[in-house]
Amino acid sequence: MAFGLELSSPQRHRGADSPRVTVVRILVPSETRPGEQRVAIVPQVVPKFTALGFEVHVQSGAGRHAFASDDAYRAAGATVIDDDHLAGAFESADVIASVRPLDYQRASRLRKGTVTVSFLSPVGDIETIRGLRDAGATGLSFDVLPRISRAQSMDALSSQALVTGYRAALVGADRLPSFFPLFMTAAGTIQPAKVLVLGAGVAGLQAIATAKRLGAKVSAYDVRPASADEVKSMGATFVTLDLEALEGSGGYAREMTEDRADRQRELLAPFVAAADVLITTAAVPGRQAPLLVTRAMVEGMKPGSVVVDLASETGGNVEGSMPGEEIKFGEVLVWGAKDVASEMPVHASQLYSMNIMSLLTLTVNEGAVVVDPEDEVLAGCAVVIDGVVRNQAALDALGGGS
């Protein structure tokens, strides 16, 4: 059975003379989480939503941090909503698109059947899930979107990881007191910087590609054997350790035992010590980030070396790294990532807008938004449908209640 919201109100049709094409109203509110600079839909993508049958409404100022002005939205065909009319816009929206999930207050006041789409964590955003449940609303989340071929264009975790990996390499190059590339000058030869990347998933591969483009000598390690060919195809060296692989389901890594973690750190220590820049991106779905590098390993690096820990917000791959902070361990700088994709809001938002559009394409059906739980992609990413919590991790976090 498909869950949905039929749109039958005559005001929701586009003009009396045109064919009766029903429109679906999508609202893009301003992000409220401090520091969040992205916006869910950028003006360039508004016409694509319109072509799909959406009427795009945007809160005034929602795109300002991503350099998307109200005028640009209007020119693209969107309706700009001022704050006085925001409550009504929330009430009449069929879909609410945001980067971060709505808070409990907003979620719990949604009209029954409203579909929200965002990075909703089934465990971390439990208050929002309660709100959606109480309102009888739906929560689609990119955090749990199945990573199958059909869903690649909707994969916002990947699109934002691409931004993150790119910026990690730039941060490393910026903070390093030396060049990345080889320079052969009249004044002598400068050797290229050595960059070591730990974790060669989407962000790690992009960090490798960016560091290579900047001319560094790059090597990388990952617990998944499949990543070796990807690392080599980027022109980097794959670090092989005498350890068993840790391939889990769905192409993800598995968690390490403490013994293996100790042994991996021991074997990695000389590679870390030789690196000028260390970029760590390792993650295991649903778990704290694995600890790959101890403080002693960092202190074993050359003075002036730089560590960029992209996993800082989820526990850290590097002991002692702090999200959003640059700390010195001896003479080594440790840069802890926080909201990295948000710091490049223009393209991060553009890619995210396309991910939302692709996902919503699956839900639009003859003028209605229909979240069909028989569809593998929608079933995977629907944490809540019409007030019914469906995600097991969310149910567990709610203590078994739905």
Phi/psi for 29 (5° steps) reads -80, 160
Binding range to ligand NAD, per CB under 6 A, among 117-125, 134-142, 223-231, 373-381: 223-231
Task: Please calculate the CA angle 386-391-397 and round it to the nearest 5 degrees.
Answer: 110
Compute the least distance from the CB of residue 277 to ligand NAD, in Å: 17
Instruction: Give the per-residue contact string, 291-320, with ligand NAD (x = CB under 6 A; - = no).
Output: -x----------------------------
Please pick, from the candidates 98, 138, 219, 227, the single residue that binds ligand NAD as defined by CB under 6 A: 227
Phi/psi for 22 (5° steps) reads -80, 145
104 catalytic per annotation: no
> Strand, coil or helix: what is 402?
coil
Binding range to ligand NAD, per CB under 6 A, among 10-18, 92-100, 146-154, 370-378: 146-154
Task: Locate 95 and state its tokens.
Answer: 């879909």
83 catalytic per annotation: no
Owner of token pair 């039958």: 8
| Residue of 12, 64, 109, 147 marked active site | 147
The 10 Å CB-count burial string (b at 16+, else e) for 193-226 is: bbbbbbbbbbbbbbbbbbbbebebbbbbbbbbee
| Residue of 252, 260, 263, 375 marked active site | 252
Query: Is position 239 an interface residue for ligand NAD (rule: CB under 6 A)?
Result: no
Q: Indicate left, alpha or beta for 217 from its phi (over 0: left) and psi (-120 to 50: alpha).
A: beta
Please pick, from the candidates 251, 270, 304, 324, the single residue that binds ligand NAD as defined by CB under 6 A: 251
What whole-number distance in Å separates Cα of residue 96 and Cα of residue 107?
10
Binding range to ligand NAD, per CB under 6 A, among 56-64, 70-78, 129-137, 281-289: 281-289
| Residue of 98, 158, 321, 353 marked active site | 158
Instruction: Count CA atoms within 13 Å of residue 324 on its CB side.
Output: 6
Binding range to ligand NAD, per CB under 6 A, among 88-96, 189-197, 222-230, 365-373: 222-230
Binding range to ligand NAD, per CB under 6 A, among 1-9, 40-48, 152-160, 343-351: 152-160
- Residue of minimal CB distance from ligand NAD? 201
First to last CA, the chain: 19
- Print the SS3 string covering 269-304: HHHHHHCCEEEECCCCCCCCCCCCECHHHHHCCCCC
| Residue of 14, 20, 152, 233 marked active site | 152
Please pick, from the candidates 282, 297, 354, 369, the single residue that binds ligand NAD as defined by CB under 6 A: 282
Show Cβ contacts of residue 175 under 8 Å, excluding neighbours closer than 6 positions.
306, 326, 333, 335
Please pick, from the candidates 281, 312, 321, 363, the single residue that binds ligand NAD as defined by CB under 6 A: 281
Nearest to ligand NAD of 50, 153 (CB atom): 153
152 catalytic per annotation: yes
Show Cβ contacts of residue 94 under 8 Å, excluding neighbours closer than 6 positions.
5, 7, 24, 25, 26, 113, 114, 115, 369
Phi/psi for 377 (5° steps) reads -70, -50
Q: How many residues lie near ligand NAD (CB under 6 A)?
A: 30
**Strand arrangement, sheet containing 277-280:** 237-238, 217-221, 194-198, 277-280, 306-309, 332-336, 326-329
Compute the least distance from the CB of residue 142 to ligand NAD, in Å: 12
252 catalytic per annotation: yes
Compute the least distance from the CB of residue 327 to ligand NAD, in Å: 22
Please pick, from the candidates 96, 110, 161, 334, the single residue that binds ligand NAD as defined by CB under 6 A: 161
Range 191-220, binding ligand NAD (CB under 6 A): 198-204
Nearest to ligand NAD of 145, 384 (CB atom): 145
Nearest to ligand NAD of 317, 391 (CB atom): 317
What whole-number distance in Å separates Cα of residue 262 and Cα of residue 254?
16
Compute the least distance from the CB of residue 203 to ligand NAD, in Å: 6
Closest to 28 measured CA to CA, from 97, 75, 84:
97
Binding range to ligand NAD, per CB under 6 A, among 86-94, 234-242, 280-288, 367-375: 280-288
175 catalytic per annotation: no
Q: Which helix (H) or strand (E) holds 204?
A: helix 202-213
Catalog residues that contact ligand NAD under the rule CB under 6 A. 147, 149, 152, 155, 157-158, 161, 198-204, 221-224, 227, 251-253, 256, 281-285, 290, 292
Enumerate the active-site residues: 147, 152, 155, 158, 252
